[in-house]
Amino acid sequence: MTPREAIKQITTRLLPVSNEAETEARIMLGEATGLDRARIFLSEKELDADALSAVEEMIKRRLSGEPLQYILGRWSFMGLEFNVSPAALIPRQDTETLCEEALSLIKERGYKTLLDICTGTGCVAVSLNKLSGIRTEASDISPACVRLARENALKNDAEVTVREADLFFGASRYDIVTANPPYINDEDMAHLPEEVKREPALALAGGRDGLDLYRRIAADAAEHILPGGALVMEVGMGEADAVRALFPGRETRTVKDLNGIERVVSIGF
């Protein structure tokens, strides 16, 4: 079987579980053969038995509902590559909007210190450190995420101090705090798509109205953000107004993601 034929067959098999079956088929075949995913169509070389069995294994896992990212064990975000595991949320394109907003504030205002809370894979902290050089700390309540974020800092040659902590810790104050906290409400948690169910509830569930973590962040933020600083948070669909309302009297800014959804709320301190 040539790669071209294999991609057709894999695509057909993945259709029941994926909206992007062909892209996933190419990624799997690229992974199994080591061939470049964009040029794989051009190869006329027959696939060998090792490649076929590796790809078969990936298809089985994918058909059982596992996200492709967990099967590969890595995913890209902000042009960098991150290790991923079921201990942490998979880096998403939506979250690049959070990074872009934070980056522009860091550059415009010359911020020198950053704390990323709910860091998960560490993708936000590591990207911002790499792309701006800002002094970076990160925290997560999950020990497995702390290990993963440290691994990702090392993998990307970033300087990020990662601590196990429930949001803020100690008495330090920062120019900018970033957060992609869990924000899915109870109702939506009960109807998650199959593959999102494979991601940790700890990284998704935001309580009855989805806003539990924002309330806790709002209660403590002023103690940990320097005057003139900023808090930049990702929010769920339809949550931006309610999150802004948790910071009365402060200057706020909302940024839409590529789908036109209000995705990032930033608050001035």
Question: Which residues lie near ligand GLN (CB under 6 A)?
Answer: 89, 92, 94, 180-184, 196, 204
Q: How far is the CB of 182 from ligand GLN (least distance, A)?
A: 4
Helix residue spans in 34-157 (DSSP H) = 49-63, 68-72, 94-109, 123-132, 143-155
CB of 181 to ligand GLN, least distance (A): 6
In the complex, minimum distance from the CB of residue 206 to ligand GLN, in angstroms, rounded to a whole number = 6
User: Of the two residues 3 and 236, which places its CB atom closer to ligand GLN in the complex?
Assistant: 236
List the one residue out of 223, 10, 5 whose CA is nearest residue 18: 10
Helix axes 49-63, 21-33, angle to 10 degrees: 140
Rounded-to-integer distance, Cα 175 and Cα 146, Å: 22
Pick 222 or 261: Cβ nearer ligand GLN = 261
Nearest to 136 by CA among 148, 157, 87: 157
Q: Cβ of residue 179: shortest distance to ligand GLN, in angstroms? A: 9
Smallest distance from the beta carbon of 95 to ligand GLN, in angstroms? Answer: 8
Q: Extract the tokens encoding 68.
A: 């492709």
Residues 6+ apart with CB under 8 A from 189: 201, 204, 205
Residue 10 or 126 with smaller CB distance to ligand GLN: 126
174 contacts 229 by C-beta, under 8 angstroms: yes
d(CA 232, CA 267): 6
Residue 24 or 199: the one with the smaller Cβ distance to ligand GLN is 199
Dist CA 91 CA 144 (whole Å)? 16
Of the two residues 40 and 232, which places its CB atom closer to ligand GLN in the complex? Answer: 232
Nearer to ligand GLN, 3 or 67 (CB): 67
Place of tokens 């999950």: 142
**Closer CB to ligand GLN, 129 or 180, in the complex:** 180
Between CA 115 and CA 102 the distance in angstroms is 11
Structure tokens at 55: 């790809």
Backbone phi, then psi, for 213, in 5-degree steps? -70, -35
In angstroms, give the least distance from the CB of 144 to ligand GLN: 17
Query: Residue 90 Cβ, how far from ligand GLN at the closest point, in Å?
Result: 9
How distant is the alpha carbon of residue 217 from its chain centre? 19
